[in-house]
A and B are shown apart, each in its own frame.
Chain A
Amino acid sequence: MAKNLFNKVWDMHCVGRLSSGQDQLFIGLHLIHEVTSPQAFQMLRERGLGVLHPERTFATVDHIVPTASQSRPFSDPLAEAMMQALEKNTKEFGIEFFSLDTDYQGIVHIIGPELGLTQPGMTIACGDSHTATHGAFGAIAFGIGTSQIRDVLATQTMAINRPKVRQIYIKGELQKGVFAKDIILRIMADLGVEGGLGYAYEYTGPTVSRLTMEERMTICNMSIEGGARVGYMNPDQTTFDYLQGRRYSPKGAEFDRAVQFWKDLASPPDAEYDDRFELDASSIEPMVTWGINPGHGIGVTQNMPRVADAPEHEREGIKKAYAHMNFKEGAPILGQKIDVAFIGSCTNGRISDLRDAARVVKGRKVASGVRAFVVPGSKQVARQAREEGLDRIFQEAGFEFRGAGCSMCLAMNPDKLKDDEISASSSNRNFIGRQGSPRGRTLLMSPAMVAAAAVNGRVVDVREYL
């Protein structure tokens, strides 16, 4: 049996076995942001350590940036202090920083691919759980904590246990109105939020091959929501076409050599896996979450589960979810009223997401009483959207079109739910309190579904609006 991509890339980067039994893994690309890195730099200072390969680390600012006005100093002094710490740290240690003063600032998982920093065959680490996004290119990418950021800065390596690999084979045509987001929400619903513990997910099969790079990123992005720290796809012509001509992509003859190398990385047909799961994409409906974790997703025409029908080990969790959501068990999700519509995040803040949403919004108005806003994932996405006139489509409909950042995905900036508001959100987590109000409620769905919910003031089936 042949090696899959995961094991090929891991072996190339493995420095050796530590006495603990963990592997010492070289990290080819390290991405940092303002929330999880300042303490790591402080630890370096306390120990008198430097950054071993500052040219392999890149920084941006995303989590705390306000999206209404991005002028400095920020009105929130805590956010301003975090911004200043990142400025100081990147300057002192010689790290490239895509700040708000550049054209390339944005959510870390959006700018890496956009700049061509993310490439097949790399190991990529970032102090953010959605780092698996970069796996869409055939990289092994995963989230790490602050102590591990310290290790990567100091040694360009980290101590880590090698996970097993599960192949997720997806076949079948997607129905109209069903998007990459629906595929991953369906995988979460089928395998559960802890189904991926101990695994890296390789998403493969004919459906995956037909997806664009942006769609692939949406799927890999949410691997962690299913418990898998790593999610990736095999690189192919779609990957190479995306990478050609980007700022940090190889150029000229080097690009040609790179493509040959990248092709050889892909898992061969006889590659070995520890487990396999198969999904028929034609059976997927537009998905909506009704509960408090991303595994609580159902097709938009389905009813919410009844506690008594759930497996015994899930009942307490479902009861807890209903207690927070204040929904009636067994009721339809279709028609559920919403207060806020949020389009953005590292899951769905790319240009194709904005296009999909704008197609639904065009010529329609946001329902009265709904606060609706679009937060592009990066300055480049915002620029492209303006060039295509998408900003005007959204604004004419009554959406706000904001500056780039993480925004209401995790509400570390001023964008927050109030009280027990319900948001239709294209983000990745519906955890209790996630969107800034401890009583706030989040319904995860695709950007097009959010757009359709925004103009109706309630959850609708986007298939009727395309």
Chain B
Amino acid sequence: MSLPKKDLIKGTGIPVMENDIDTDRIIPARFMKTVTFDGLGNYAFYDARFHEDGSSKGHPFDDPRYRGGSILITGRNFGCGSSREHAPQALQKYGIEAIIGESFAEIFIGNCTSIGIPCVSLNKEDVESLAQLVQENPGTEIQIDLVNKQVRTPEENFYLEINESFRKSLAEGTWDTTAALLQNKEKIEEVYRNLAYIKGFVA
């Protein structure tokens, strides 16, 4: 399966500067009553964005200053809680192409990577300066360079961290893993046949 390389992502930012944002917040469970991922973009951060009467709470996703933003900037432990892939799917369908944060929950970062959304970490100070820069100059172009491991802005560059296997597969456009896994069918069967619980625990 041929996929685009995510080696360099350019866009403007949307700062959602909180820690421990869980996936129930990103996509409330009631919107997961569906057998597809279609249309989830409308419900990204729904309860954080809208009052129960449908009026806006003024969330950054609805702030006209950040309209068209494709890079979410956030705090620590983003995407914690439920393993629902509906969360990154909702963000992607809303228009988010990459996430910059202090740290990410593990299942979430795996889910993001498997649909081609890079999640890159900056240290706390750098995330805060980047968020401040975007808050002061909302149209600022941000570049995420996965080859040189840099987040660049016209004002300042930051060193980014990302797990090397995630970096490589995103930068090379090989983040859809099914084909690579299928290549090793013989070895899969060999491991399977040798498992104690498959062999009836006979040595």
Query: Is B a genuine binding partner of A?
Result: yes
Q: Which residues of A contact B (CB under 8 A)?
A: 12-16, 18-22, 24, 26, 28, 35-36, 38-39, 42, 47, 49, 52-53, 64, 76, 78-79, 81-82, 85, 119, 121-122, 127-129, 131, 142-148, 150-151, 154-161, 163, 193-194, 197-198, 224-225, 227, 229, 250, 254, 257-258, 260-261, 293, 313, 316-317, 320, 410-412, 429, 431-434, 436, 438-439
Binary contact track B92-135/A, C-beta < 8 Å → 1, others 0? 00000000000101110011001100000000100000000000
A-chain residues with CB within 8 Å of residue B106 when the two chains form the complex: 163, 197-198, 227, 229
User: Provided the pairs A150-B178, A320-B18, A411-B29 are in contact, do residues A21 and B77 lie with their beta carbons within 8 angstroms?
Assistant: no
Contact A143 B107, beta carbon cutoff 8 Å: yes
Contact A21 B177, beta carbon cutoff 8 Å: no
Contact A156 B188, beta carbon cutoff 8 Å: yes
B-chain residues with CB within 8 Å of residue A49 when the two chains form the complex: 178
Contact A42 B36, beta carbon cutoff 8 Å: yes
Could you say which of B29, B114, B188, B202 contacts A410, with CB atoms under 8 Å apart?
B29
Contact B187 A16, beta carbon cutoff 8 Å: yes
Contact A433 B24, beta carbon cutoff 8 Å: yes
**Nearest CB of chain A from residue B72's CB, rounded to whole Å:** 18
User: Provided the pairs A145-B107, A411-B30 are in contact, do residues A194 and B20 lie with their beta carbons within 8 angstroms?
Assistant: yes
The residue in chain A whose Cβ has the minimal distance to the Cβ of B84 is A36
B-chain residues with CB within 8 Å of residue A146 when the two chains form the complex: 37, 85, 111
B28 within 8 A of A: yes
B3 within 8 A of A: no
The residue in chain A whose Cβ has the minimal distance to the Cβ of B108 is A145
**Nearest CB of chain A from residue B61's CB, rounded to whole Å:** 16
Contact A157 B52, beta carbon cutoff 8 Å: no
Number of A-B contacts (CB under 8 A): 217
**Nearest CB of chain A from residue B185's CB, rounded to whole Å:** 8
B-chain residues with CB within 8 Å of residue A411 when the two chains form the complex: 29-30
Complex Cα gap A13–B166 (Å): 21
Complex Cα gap A42–B182 (Å): 18
**Nearest CB of chain B from residue A240's CB, rounded to whole Å:** 13
Contact A127 B83, beta carbon cutoff 8 Å: yes
Contact A433 B28, beta carbon cutoff 8 Å: yes
Contact B200 A412, beta carbon cutoff 8 Å: no
Complex Cα gap A119–B197 (Å): 9
A-chain residues with CB within 8 Å of residue B202 when the two chains form the complex: 257
Could you say which of B77, B88, B182, B184 contacts A193, with CB atoms under 8 Å apart?
B77
Complex Cα gap A170–B1 (Å): 48
Could you say which of B36, B105, B176, B195 contacts A28, with CB atoms under 8 Å apart?
B195
Could you say which of B105, B114, B194, B196 contacts A261, with CB atoms under 8 Å apart?
B196
The residue in chain B whose Cβ has the minimal distance to the Cβ of A255 is B201
Contact A38 B36, beta carbon cutoff 8 Å: yes
Contact A13 B195, beta carbon cutoff 8 Å: yes
Could you say which of B32, B169, B184 contacts A24, with CB atoms under 8 Å apart?
B184
Contact A155 B182, beta carbon cutoff 8 Å: yes
Contact A159 B177, beta carbon cutoff 8 Å: yes
Complex Cα gap A157–B189 (Å): 10
Contact A429 B24, beta carbon cutoff 8 Å: yes
B-chain residues with CB within 8 Å of residue A163 when the two chains form the complex: 106
Contact A227 B178, beta carbon cutoff 8 Å: no
A-chain residues with CB within 8 Å of residue B164 when the two chains form the complex: 21
Contact B168 A293, beta carbon cutoff 8 Å: no
User: Provided the pairs A119-B197, A144-B107 are in contact, do residues A157 and B181 lie with their beta carbons within 8 angstroms?
Assistant: yes
Contact A432 B25, beta carbon cutoff 8 Å: yes
Could you say which of A22, A78, A313 contacts B34, with CB atoms under 8 Å apart?
A78
**Nearest CB of chain B from residue A361's CB, rounded to whole Å:** 29
B2 within 8 A of A: no
The residue in chain B whose Cβ has the minimal distance to the Cβ of A120 is B197
Contact B196 A155, beta carbon cutoff 8 Å: no
**Nearest CB of chain A from residue B177's CB, rounded to whole Å:** 4
Could you say which of A22, A35, A143, A261 contacts B32, with CB atoms under 8 Å apart?
A35
B-chain residues with CB within 8 Å of residue A81 when the two chains form the complex: 35
B-chain residues with CB within 8 Å of residue A412 when the two chains form the complex: 29-30, 32-33
The residue in chain A whose Cβ has the minimal distance to the Cβ of B106 is A229
B138 within 8 A of A: no
A-chain residues with CB within 8 Å of residue B148 when the two chains form the complex: none
B-chain residues with CB within 8 Å of residue A39 when the two chains form the complex: 35-37, 85
Could you say which of B18, B36, B81 contacts A429, with CB atoms under 8 Å apart?
B81
Contact B178 A193, beta carbon cutoff 8 Å: no
B174 within 8 A of A: yes
Can you give 23 A-B contacts (C-beta < 8 A)? A15-B187, A19-B168, A21-B168, A26-B192, A76-B33, A78-B33, A119-B197, A145-B83, A145-B84, A146-B111, A154-B182, A155-B188, A158-B181, A159-B181, A194-B103, A224-B107, A258-B197, A411-B30, A412-B30, A429-B24, A431-B25, A433-B24, A433-B28
**Nearest CB of chain B from residue A74's CB, rounded to whole Å:** 11
Complex Cα gap A39–B77 (Å): 26
B-chain residues with CB within 8 Å of residue A14 when the two chains form the complex: 191
Complex Cα gap A314–B51 (Å): 26
Contact A194 B195, beta carbon cutoff 8 Å: no
Could you say which of B114, B165, B185 contacts A148, with CB atoms under 8 Å apart?
B114
User: Provided the pairs A52-B188, A155-B188, A432-B47 are in contact, do residues A121 and B197 lie with their beta carbons within 8 angstroms?
Assistant: yes
User: Provided the pairs A144-B83, A227-B80 are in contact, do residues A316 and B187 lie with their beta carbons within 8 angstroms?
Assistant: no
User: Provided the pairs A151-B177, A154-B178 are in contact, do residues A79 and B33 lie with their beta carbons within 8 angstroms?
Assistant: yes
B19 within 8 A of A: yes
B7 within 8 A of A: no
Complex Cα gap A122–B30 (Å): 33
User: Provided the pairs A15-B184, A151-B181, A155-B178 are in contact, do residues A257 and B200 lie with their beta carbons within 8 angstroms?
Assistant: yes
Contact A161 B25, beta carbon cutoff 8 Å: no
